[in-house]
Amino acid sequence: MLVGIFFWELAKNLGFSSPQVTIVNLYSTQVDLPENITWVVGNGKKLPFENMAFDLAFSNSVIEHLYDWESQL
């Protein structure tokens, strides 16, 4: 189970609505995800989403998507 998944399951069991969450990573996952979470394999330099597709974006661990020093500047 991914860290944080328990929170969404607990919220649902308590009757709270769960937001739609999209995770983008370089690699696929073998973990069964709750229905409100979508895992997308993608490159952070060219995301596979239309402009304005999300209400909120959180970025964490972006550096692994940039590969070299020139891309990080």
- Of the candidate ranges 1-10, 33-42, 60-69, the one whose mean pLDDT is the lowest: 1-10
Q: Identify the band that residue 65 occupies on the pLDDT scale cut at 50, 70 and 90.
A: low
Distance CA 35, CA 30 (A): 15
Distant-in-sequence, close-in-space partners of 47: CB < 8 Å, separation ≥ 6: 24
Torsion of CA 37, 30, 32, 46, to 10 degrees: 10
Q: What are the tokens at 1? A: 């189970």
Of 71 and 49, more confident = 49
Q: With 70 as the cut, is the pLDDT of residue 45 above it? A: yes
Q: Identify the band that residue 50 occupies on the pLDDT scale cut at 50, 70 and 90.
A: very high
